[in-house]
Amino acid sequence: MIIQAVRHRISAGALLLRLALITALDPATLYAQGGPPMLTDDPDTPGSGNWEINLAYIEERNKLDQIRNFPHVDVNYGLGESIQLKFETGWVIADLADGGSRSGLDDSLIGLK
């Protein structure tokens, strides 16, 4: 018995169509994760009695100003499986278009989520 291998050439368009169909029909295998450089608020809690501490460097700039936030601190404490205490703050350094520079404590956020 002779077995003959058959090769198929798949065009780029057909390959993209297959990939789009797999993506659309099987969303359970897709995972999204927000993080730098996006500013997001993590929807999960750290769990009952657990701490979650996030440190970050955040920078915003345009043609005129540059604003840096370091360290940006986000501290969460779990009060159960679905409730957490939240504290968020940072130290801001602003280089402004007028040539001046200012720094100070950012607006702090305290909350229950």
What does the pLDDT look like over 48-98, one tens digit per residue?
999 999 888 888 888 888 999 989 999 999 998 889 999 999 999 999 888
- The Cα–Cα gap between 74 and 44 comes to 14
pLDDT tens-digit series, residues 53-66: 988 888 888 888 89
Is 8 within the bounds of a domain? Answer: no
Spatial neighbors of 41 by CB under 8 A, at least 6 apart, are 113
Is 59 within the bounds of a domain? Answer: yes
Is 26 within the bounds of a domain? Answer: no
How much is the pTM?
Answer: 0.58
Residue 76: Cβ-neighbour burial (10 angstroms; 0-12, 13-18, 19+): buried
Is 9 within the bounds of a domain? Answer: no
- Assign 6 a pLDDT band (cuts: 50, 70, 90): very low
* Domain total of the chain: 1
Q: Which domain holds residue 102?
A: 35-112
Is 42 within the bounds of a domain? Answer: yes
